[in-house]
Amino acid sequence: MPVRDAEVGDVEEICALIEEHARYEGNDELVLDRGEMKRHLFGPDPKAWVLIAEPPGEPGEVAGFAFCCWNFSTWEAKPGIWLDDIFVRPRYRRHGLGRELLDELRRRTPGRVEWDMQVGNEKAAAFYADLGAEQVPGWVRYRWRPHAG
């Protein structure tokens, strides 16, 4: 199977994928602190986890990733997964790796897997619809940022 759990040795590649995704989406400024990411993913109190997609026939290569954390639905009384980011490098697309990543997330929880998608991303919308995922009607996402200073 081309999907595996990330290991501490993957931190550089994880950060590179996130930065590459940012460039793909038009953010040329994002540069992540590798040490901080290592602490958040593999330290004594991890805050998130990552699945790595490896292309078939290319062991050791990284084609993409899913960056996740656990959540919990009070109304369903079940744990779920929040997919914060998913990205497959363009040269590895159309090989089923995005589907493999999402299928693995679905296998890991009896609850729901949820994520955001940027408005206007028609390719992603078509991909998610093909998977059977549906938009959540009637909900608006809010964000509360820490105070500056």
pLDDT value, residue 1: 53
Per-domain residue ranges of the chain: 3-131
Q: What is the pLDDT of residues 135-148, one digit of tens each?
A: 888 888 887 888 77
Q: What is the pTM of this model?
A: 0.90
Q: Which of 24, 92, 128, 142 is catalytic?
A: 128
128 is catalytic: yes
Q: Which CATH superfamily is domain 3-131 in?
A: Gcn5-related N-acetyltransferase (GNAT) (3.40.630.30)
**Residue 16, pLDDT above cutoff 60:** yes
Q: What is the 3-state secondary structure (H, E, C) of the chain?
A: CCEEECCHHHHHHHHHHHHHHHHHCCCCCCCCCHHHHHHHHHCCCCCCEEEEECCCCCCCCCCEEEEEEEEEECCCCEEEEEEEEEEECHHHCCCCHHHHHHHHHHHCCCCCEEECCCCCCHHHHHHHHHHCCCCCCCCCCCCCCCCCC
